[in-house]
Amino acid sequence: MLAAAVLAGCVPALAQERAGSRPVIVASKPFGESYLLAEMFAQLLEGRGFRVDRRPGLGATEIAFRAMQGGVIDVYPEYTGTGLLAILHRPPQSDPRAVYAIVSREFRGRWGVHWLPPLGFQNTYAIAVRRETAERERLATLSDLARASGHLRAGLTPDFIGRPDGLPGLAKAYGLGFRSVQALGPAVKYQALAAGTVDVIDGYSTDGLIAKFDLVVLRDDRRFFPPYEAAALVGPGLIRDEPGAVVALTELSGRLGEEQMRRLNRRVEVDGEPVSRVAASALAALGLVGASARPPVAAPSGGQGLGAYLWARHEDILRLTGRHLLLVGVSLGAAILVAVPVGLALERMRRGAETVIRGAGVLQTVPSIALLAFMIPLIGIGVVPALVALFLYSLYPILRNTYTGVRDAAPEAVGAASALGMTPGQVLRYVRLPLAAPVIMAGIRTSAVINVGTATLAAFIGAGGLGDPIAAGLALSDTKMILSGALPAALLAMLVDTALGICERMVSA
């Protein structure tokens, strides 16, 4: 009950307020071009008088599309090839018009989701190598790569390794077989390639980083990769509630060329210009909206030193830390209020206790990002699902320690206390619980530290906190931006642990 009260007290404060006409919820996937396109959508809509709720870097295809199906977001930039293969699970096709026709018909029929006319450029997979590798191995095409692949190490995004139009299909089409394949996050693969840790990576053809690291993109001479035309994907809710917004979004259709896009991406990913400014200037150049930049969620670091960057952002960092602490405090508090009584109850029953505790343990083994993804269709995105996920993650250590701490507390003292006439309730309150208190506190500390770390992932479902600059920094390959979230988070974990350690000493004194 108390847990519910705590939740009820805090959630409204955290949740975005919605008054008057509803805002258009614009999301993106977590990489530079998606951020930029989403920001262009958002500014275009704002320029046409719509209110916008931004969810940048929401999640990869599965998460973003699930959020759209669930009606929690209205629009995000998607690629026709991804729709065909990853969402519809259809075989690849090489004709862009046929692909667009299939996805727009199927998405509308199945989910009421609309593909607006394509923006005008393709961003297909690009297989890239270092220039010296290309020269040494005489690589220009993917057929050349197949010949040399036996002694090359690939570093590919997990997405690419798994999807049929990624590595499995590519390997079959070209007869590729790499010496080793390593899964690398989008944020680190370019660095890994430049540093020589791997020899081949997958990228996107409009990546600005391809130019920055002077990489060679190998030509898809057998036309394996299907067309990936970028377009705005629009959910049924927006079409119903704000048809005007959909019309506004079509103003971008056919206006963005591939060369132009690579230039814009470069400004964001390589030069570190704020996404909002690049989007504003691109829209201005297209004559769509006058220059109007909103303060960015996470400012790129540019050429500043880390200290100067952190100092310049200290107000933002403080605000994000406060938000982070609120996420941790509410979810951990609720977990304590649930897990301690349940642990005590299980100790009284014993039978079945291990099963329940192992159940909570299994929850712990679900990867956090997967748990967050499961949450989307159930409770949407934002603060509430993040709190639920963090709450679930905090249960196990507290439950386990409460149960075993109380069960194993000084058996001879427990035996004597009941033999002298303490009721079971008195034994619990005066003997077991005080003796188990240090063990229970240790469980709470473990949960707290895990929670502070896991809460950084809450940014991926739009709950905010110190994960915001980490997610954005990962997408933009901006180390300083990542550190501006990661360092305070680590510091926070230590502080929380220390504070709880002091509590623990007071409890056991």
Partner 1 sequence: MPGDVTLRAVDLSKRYGEVVALDGVSLEARAGECLALIGESGSGKTTLLRCFNRMTDPDSGRVLVDGAEVGSLDPIALRRRIGYVPQEGGLLPHWSIGRNVSLVPWLRRMTDRAERGARALVLVGLDPAAFAGRKPRELSGGQRQRAAVARALAADPDVILLDEPFGALDAITRADLQETFLRLRTELRFTALLVTHDLHEAMHLADRIVVMRAGRVEQTGTPDDLRRAAATDYVRHLLERARVAS
Strands 114-115 and 52-55: unpaired
Which residues is 114 bridged to in the sheet? 234
**Residue closer to partner 1 (CB basis): 311 or 430:** 430
The Cα–Cα gap between 413 and 432 comes to 9
- Neighbour tally for 500: CB within 10 Å: 20
For the chain, the straight-line distance linking the first and the last C-alpha, in angstroms and rounded, comes to 29
Place of tokens 């929850």: 363
Applying CB under 8 A, the span of 51-59, 104-112, 130-138, 420-428 interacting with partner 1 comes to 420-428
Our finding on whether 438 is near partner 1 (CB under 8 A) is: no
The Cα–Cα gap between 259 and 52 comes to 28
DSSP line for 152-173: -EEEE-HHHHHSTTTHHHHHHH
The Cα–Cα gap between 178 and 363 comes to 36
Coil, strand or helix at 380: coil
Span 466-505, contacts to partner 1 by CB under 8 A = none
Q: How far is the CB of 506 from partner 1 (least distance, A)?
A: 14
Structure token digits, residue 113: 């989701």
**Residue closer to partner 1 (CB basis): 344 or 417:** 417
| List 135, 423, 429, 507, residue binding partner 1 (CB under 8 A) | 423
Span 76-105, contacts to partner 1 by CB under 8 A = none
Helix (H) or strand (E) holding 44: helix 32-47
Phi, psi of 465 (to 5 degrees): 95, -170
Q: How far is the CB of 465 from partner 1 (least distance, A)?
A: 39
Our finding on whether 426 is near partner 1 (CB under 8 A) is: yes
Coil, strand or helix at 247: helix
**Residue closer to partner 1 (CB basis): 12 or 425:** 425
Structure token digits, residue 260: 């132009």
Q: How far is the CB of 424 from partner 1 (least distance, A)?
A: 9
Q: What character string, x for contact with partner 1 (CB under 8 A) and - otherwise, covers 140-159?
A: --------------------
Applying CB under 8 A, the span of 54-62, 192-200, 325-333, 428-436 interacting with partner 1 comes to 428-436
Strands 200-204 and 153-156: parallel
Our finding on whether 435 is near partner 1 (CB under 8 A) is: yes
Our finding on whether 507 is near partner 1 (CB under 8 A) is: no
Span 157-196, contacts to partner 1 by CB under 8 A = none
**Residue closer to partner 1 (CB basis): 38 or 431:** 431
Our finding on whether 415 is near partner 1 (CB under 8 A) is: yes
Q: How far is the CB of 336 from partner 1 (least distance, A)?
A: 22
Q: How far is the CB of 433 from partner 1 (least distance, A)?
A: 10
Coil, strand or helix at 276: helix
The Cα–Cα gap between 446 and 186 comes to 30
Our finding on whether 418 is near partner 1 (CB under 8 A) is: yes
Our finding on whether 348 is near partner 1 (CB under 8 A) is: no
Strands 52-55 and 215-218: unpaired
| List 1, 13, 19, 419, residue binding partner 1 (CB under 8 A) | 419
Q: Binding-site residue total for partner 1 (CB under 8 A)?
A: 17
Q: CB within 8 A of 485, min separation 6: which ones? A: 320, 456, 466, 467, 468, 469, 470, 473
Coil, strand or helix at 122: strand
**Residue closer to partner 1 (CB basis): 94 or 426:** 426
Q: What character string, x for contact with partner 1 (CB under 8 A) and - otherwise, covers 375-414?
A: -----------------------------------x-xx-
Structure token digits, residue 126: 């690009």
| List 431, 444, 496, 500, residue binding partner 1 (CB under 8 A) | 431
Our finding on whether 416 is near partner 1 (CB under 8 A) is: yes
Q: Which parts of this chain interact with partner 1 (CB under 8 A)?
A: 410, 412-413, 415-423, 426, 430-431, 434-435
